[in-house]
């Protein structure tokens, strides 16, 4: 009978452990978004916690604003490559323009291209020692770096390493 109770307790605990992964990999206090449009990066939004024990009868909902970033890659003689970057921008267009201007200001000119645009998440760029590069996004910098390194290696990169990473998380506006 004791063994049956222990087994039941473990099964119930297993249900709670599974529930911990229901947030789709977002950091604590955030939930995953479903972006609109193909090519959009998935992101995270903060979870609004309406405290029912508050002394005020009504709390207005918290409003969040998206934040975007972009990574642009270019080339110039006598360099190993150029990385244009932007983060914490209010729109995708603003992020892409800022990153493109950053690449061009470093001499990338017409070789600059948008490698990755992301919303409400972290992003990383990994390059290989001999070949290959990759960008990836995820809910933490460590996960974004890991995904970028793995993708770089899959693309044929040798000794891939993350050379850039940043987060652009939503900001509370109300």
pLDDT tens, 128-165? 988 789 999 999 999 999 999 999 999 999 999 999 99
In a domain? residue 89: yes
In a domain? residue 50: no
Res. 80: pLDDT tops 90: no
The structural domain count of the chain equals 1
In a domain? residue 37: no
Res. 32: pLDDT tops 70: yes
Confidence (pLDDT) at 64 = 94
| Residue ranges making up the domain that contains 132 | 64-172
In a domain? residue 47: no
**Contact assessment for residue 75 and residue 82, using Cβ atoms and an 8 Å cutoff:** yes
CA–CA gap between residue 140 and residue 77 (Å, rounded): 34
CA–CA gap between residue 88 and residue 52 (Å, rounded): 32
Confidence (pLDDT) at 24 = 61
In a domain? residue 131: yes
In a domain? residue 21: no
- Range name among 12-16, 22-26, 151-155 with the lowest pLDDT average: 12-16
In a domain? residue 146: yes
Res. 38: pLDDT tops 70: no
In a domain? residue 54: no
Residue 19 parent element (H or E): helix 2-19
Confidence (pLDDT) at 161 = 96
- Region 104-116: mean pLDDT is 96
């Amino acid at each position: 009978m004791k063994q049956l109770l222990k087994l039941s307790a473990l099964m119930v605990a297993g249900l709670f452990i599974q529930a911990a992964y229901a947030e789709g990999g977002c950091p604590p206090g955030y939930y995953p978004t479903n972006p609109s449009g193909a090519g959009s990066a998935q992101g995270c939004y903060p979870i609004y916690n309406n405290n029912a024990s508050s002394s005020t009868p009504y709390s207005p909902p918290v409003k969040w604003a998206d934040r975007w970033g972009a990574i642009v890659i270019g080339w110039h003689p006598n360099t190993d490559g150029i990385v244009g970057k932007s983060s914490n921008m209010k729109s995708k267009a603003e992020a892409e323009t800022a990153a493109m201007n950053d690449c061009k200001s470093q001499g990338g000119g017409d070789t600059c291209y948008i490698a990755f645009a992301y919303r409400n998440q972290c992003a990383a760029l990994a390059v290989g020692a001999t070949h290959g590069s990759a960008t990836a996004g995820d809910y933490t910098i460590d996960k974004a770096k890991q995904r970028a390194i793995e993708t770089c290696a899959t693309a044929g990169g040798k000794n891939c390493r993350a050379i850039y990473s940043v987060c652009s998380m939503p900001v509370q506006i109300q």
